[in-house]
Copies of this chain bind each other. A is one copy, B any other.
Amino acid sequence: MNPSSHLEVTVGEIGEKAVIAEIVGAAPSTRNGDDAAVLSHASPNSRTVATTDMLIEGRHFRRDWSTPEEVGKKAITANFADIEAMGARPISALLALAAPPDLPVEFLRRLAMGIDESVSEFAAELVGGDVTQSERLVVSVAAIGELGGNRPALTLDRARAGQKVVANGLIGHSAAGYALLERFGRAGVPEHLDPLVEAHCAPTLSAGRGVVARSAGVTSMTDNSDGLVVDLGAIARASQVGIDLEKDAIAPGPLLIEAGELLDVDPWSWVLSGGEDHTLLATTSGPAPSGFRTIGKVTRSREVTVAGEKPAHVTGWESF
């Protein structure tokens, strides 16, 4: 079978069993194939951490914007970021996939390859799933992590006034990439702004940073999924504190500034209210953990501010 004829084979033509075989072939695990997957715990004194995040075609990704691999990677990053944000180690992912019958098998295989590449970075596996039919592609992933030892998980409610706010990863890049895609489409975005587009289509996460942060004594943690102000606001609310961000530490970098000029958009809006970067955001009494930088401090104000001022852009991602 040559690649071009191969592209035209659809999931409807090969049927459910072959679809599952394609996914399992691209993202293999010895734990897959039974009614459910059995996961051993590496450390005897451990807890299980679980989360789920769903991507819908046309809402979280578009097939003309993202490669299939990127869709798979984004689904894993969105889930594993929530596991890392508890200070836990992602060990497994489950994939519930709904696909239109005319979806090319090649798309499905590449999506599974993207999942495999992402989970492999974490030494995790795709251990099970479900496949069904729908008009729009739906990629629903659930992730399971392991939290070793007796220390508490890194919840939202332990930030205390006087602590530092630290971050690991990009802020605002995904939203800028989305804005560029909306205006230019994937092919039309100026090449040197590609990193922004990639940050949207396949945000990355540095494996193990959550565990590092927990070891370093971080007090609370979340990830930047709904927008910086909204996500830090969740920590502030749960911890009954405020957060003041350092303007210089979060100021838009050259790429964001250039994209802002090109689109006539204030790049601060992407920094403050863009989400989907999946950057880890944490609070700590100690120095910033390895890989993290300081971006602000915890206050008693009960508000999220930038250099003491109410931020200009506060609206985050809303599903409805």
User: How many copies of the shown chain assemble into the complex?
Assistant: 2
Q: Are A82's CB and B35's CB within 8 A?
A: yes
Q: How far is the CB of A48 from chain B (nearest CB, A)?
A: 4
Residues in B neighbouring A98, C-beta threshold 8 A: 54, 56, 138
Is the CB–CB distance between A130 and B52 below 8 Å? yes
Judge whether B128 and A134 touch: CB under 8 Å. Answer: no
B140 touches A59 (CB 8 A): no
Contact check: which of B60, B136, B155 meets A34 at CB < 8 Å? B155
Interface string of A76-93 (1 = CB under 8 A from B): 000001110110100010
Within the complex, which residue of B40, B41, B96, B128 is in contact with A54, where a contact is CB–CB below 8 Å? B96
- In the bound complex, how far is the Cα of B41 from the Cα of A280, in angstroms? 27
Q: Does A147 contact B (CB under 8 A)?
A: yes
Q: Mark A114-149, 1 if CB is under 8 A from B, else 0.
A: 000000000000011111111110101011110100
B94, B136, B320: the one contacting A52 at CB < 8 Å is: B94
Stretch at the interface among A10-18, A186-194, A265-273, A306-314: A10-18
Out of B19, B88, B140, B144, name the residue touching A96 (CB < 8 Å).
B140
Closest to A78 in B: B130
B86 touches A36 (CB 8 A): yes
* Per-residue B-contact encoding for A143-178, CB less than 8 Å = 1, 0 else: 111010000010110000000000000000000000
A28 within 8 A of B: no
Bound: A197/B19 CA distance, A: 31
Q: How far is the CA of A158 from the CA of B45 in the complex (A)?
A: 30
B-chain residues with CB within 8 Å of residue A155 when the two chains form the complex = 34
Shortest A226–chain B CB gap in Å is: 9
Report yes or no: A140 in contact with B34, Cβ–Cβ below 8 A: no
Given A40-B47, A52-B94: 4 more A-B contacts, CB < 8 Å:
A19-B319, A35-B82, A53-B130, A56-B134
Subset of 26 A-B contacts with CB under 8 Å: A15-B318, A33-B156, A34-B156, A35-B85, A35-B86, A35-B156, A35-B221, A36-B88, A37-B49, A37-B50, A37-B51, A38-B47, A38-B153, A39-B49, A39-B50, A41-B41, A50-B94, A52-B130, A54-B96, A54-B98, A56-B138, A59-B133, A59-B134, A101-B320, A132-B319, A134-B136
